[in-house]
């Protein structure tokens, strides 16, 4: 059977039927046969054609006398027969089309199933990596604390008290780290924005305190820690502990992800509406893709893992939650291999310095 380019749309069925009923000419019958092509192309089945036919017939008979209606019905059936004969020849094509469609759909479903299975497998793998990371992180300070205490006990038994103090100091530091880690884990598992009690306070002493925390770590890596001190008060409504831990996190990251001899600069300032503090480093930096993921819980970039084996990838997720709880935001800029800057922006509180709680 010949194939006609641009077979007429099934929408033309009523007008063709009406033409045939009026004129009974060969041309209309010829059109009936090529209409079957468009039915096949559009995947319409015999039931659809019959439905289209009777709808069209109703239109054709509208307003006609009873006699004309009877004649129209007979003619219309002749027309439908022509369409069906031509359609029958093409029916194999129709079945093949339907078959191809269902194979395609089955393939799509199989692909979607494969994708789901892959995602489940990845999630499972991620879970075991996280568990391994958590147990490693918890074991390290525990082992350090236990080791130091064991040696201290031995020394006490021998009466060598002079070395006991530093060993207990080490054990205490390790246990403090353990305590911080468990607090982070508990916070992270809540998965919701923390409820904080806020007071009006000056951000500057908090920045200074956080800098004192990382001072020793920076010095041990020969990192030039510059704090551009701000003489003006930076009034915010905030929770001092939350801000201190958030800034401590940013500063500790800056020092950890900056190679020996690099630099970390802390600046702060304000305008009429906002107060900001920025931690900028000359460290490993991040790619665009990494930058987009750093606030996810447990995310650590491959480079960060290589540079510093310690870390749960929770600090920034918690920092982000904390800053949101202050109605603020964290703005990150970074260039791979060049360095990063993390800027916390908080709404400025309209108050005078004397009303502020100082820490």
Residues that bind ligand ADP (CB under 6 A): 249, 253-254, 257, 281, 283-286, 294, 299-301, 304, 311-317, 340
Shortest Cβ distance from residue 140 to ligand ADP (Å)? 13
Using the minimum distance from each CB to ligand ADP, give the nearer residue, 115 or 306: 306
Shortest Cβ distance from residue 229 to ligand ADP (Å)? 21
Using the minimum distance from each CB to ligand ADP, give the nearer residue, 82 or 281: 281
Using the minimum distance from each CB to ligand ADP, give the nearer residue, 18 or 252: 252
Q: Is residue 81 a contact partner of residue 36, using CB atoms and an 8 Å limit?
A: no
Shortest Cβ distance from residue 322 to ligand ADP (Å)? 12
Shortest Cβ distance from residue 171 to ligand ADP (Å)? 23
Shortest Cβ distance from residue 129 to ligand ADP (Å)? 13
Shortest Cβ distance from residue 222 to ligand ADP (Å)? 17
Shortest Cβ distance from residue 104 to ligand ADP (Å)? 42
In angstroms, what CA-CA distances link 261 with 98, 149, 151, 208, 232? Answer: 69, 34, 34, 22, 31
Using the minimum distance from each CB to ligand ADP, give the nearer residue, 142 or 155: 142
Give the residue at shortest CB distance from ligand ADP.
311
**What is the spatial distance between Cα 53 and Cα 35, in angstroms, rounded to a whole number?**
12
Using the minimum distance from each CB to ligand ADP, give the nearer residue, 37 or 245: 245
Using the minimum distance from each CB to ligand ADP, give the nearer residue, 35 or 264: 264
Q: Which two tokens stand for residue 266?
A: 């802390």
Q: Is residue 236 a contact partner of residue 323, using CB atoms and an 8 Å limit?
A: no
Shortest Cβ distance from residue 200 to ligand ADP (Å)? 28
Shortest Cβ distance from residue 125 to ligand ADP (Å)? 18
Instruction: Write a three-state SS string for the chain.
Output: CCCCCCCCCHHHHHHHHHHHHHHCCHHHHHHHHHHHHHHHHCCCCHHHHHHHHHHHHHHHHCCCCHHHHHHHHHHHHHHHHHHHHHHHHHHHHHHHHHHHHHHHHHHHHHHHHHHHHHHHHHHHHHHHHHHHHHHHHHHHHHHHHHHHHHHHHHHHHHCCHHHHHHHHHHHHHHHHHHHHHHHHHHHHHHCCCCCCCCEEEEHHHHHHHHHHHHHHHHHHCCCEEEECCCCCCCEEEECHHHHHHHHHHHHHHHHHCCCCCCEEEEEEEECCCEEEEEEEECCCCCCHHHHHHCCCCCCCCHHHHHHCCCCCCCHHHHHHHHHHHCCCEEEEEEECCCEEEEEEEEECCCCCHHHCECC
Using the minimum distance from each CB to ligand ADP, give the nearer residue, 235 or 285: 285
Using the minimum distance from each CB to ligand ADP, give the nearer residue, 142 or 185: 185
Using the minimum distance from each CB to ligand ADP, give the nearer residue, 37 or 340: 340
């Amino acid at each position: 059977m010949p194939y006609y380019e641009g077979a007429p749309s099934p929408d033309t069925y009523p007008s063709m039927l009406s033409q045939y009923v009026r004129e009974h000419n060969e041309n209309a019958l010829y059109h009936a046969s090529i209409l079957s092509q468009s039915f096949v192309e559009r995947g319409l089945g015999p039931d659809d054609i019959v439905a289209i036919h009777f709808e069209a017939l109703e239109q054709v008979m509208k307003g006609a006398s009873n006699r004309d209606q009877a004649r129209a019905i007979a003619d219309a059936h002749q027309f439908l027969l022509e369409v069906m004969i031509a359609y029958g020849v093409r029916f194999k094509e129709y079945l093949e089309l339907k078959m191809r469609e269902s194979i395609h759909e089955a393939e799509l479903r199989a692909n979607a199933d494969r994708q789901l299975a892959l995602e489940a497998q990845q999630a499972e793998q991620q879970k075991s990596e996280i568990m391994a990371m958590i147990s490693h992180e918890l074991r390290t300070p525990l082992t350090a604390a236990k080791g130091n205490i064991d040696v201290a006990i031995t020394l006490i038994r021998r009466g060598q008290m002079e070395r006991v103090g530093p060993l207990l100091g080490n054990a205490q530091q390790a246990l403090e780290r353990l305590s911080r880690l468990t607090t982070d884990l508990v916070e992270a598992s809540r998965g919701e924005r923390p409820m904080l009690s806020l007071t009006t306070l000056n951000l500057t002493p908090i920045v200074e305190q956080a800098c004192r925390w990382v001072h020793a770590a920076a010095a041990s890596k020969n990192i030039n820690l510059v704090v551009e001190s701000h003489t003006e008060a930076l009034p915010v409504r905030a929770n001092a502990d939350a801000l201190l831990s958030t800034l401590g996190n940013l500063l500790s990251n800056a020092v950890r992800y900056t190679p020996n001899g690099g630099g970390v600069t802390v600046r702060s300032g304000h305008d009429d509406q906002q107060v900001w503090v920025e931690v900028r480093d000359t460290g490993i930096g991040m790619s665009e893709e990494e930058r987009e993921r750093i606030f996810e819980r447990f995310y650590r970039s491959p480079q960060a893992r290589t540079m510093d084996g310690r870390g749960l990838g929770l600090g920034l997720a918690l920092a982000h939650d904390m800053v949101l709880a202050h109605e603020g935001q964290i703005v990150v800029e970074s260039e791979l291999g060049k360095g990063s800057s993390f800027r916390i922006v908080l709404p400025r509180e309209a108050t005078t310095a004397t009303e502020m709680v100082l820490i």
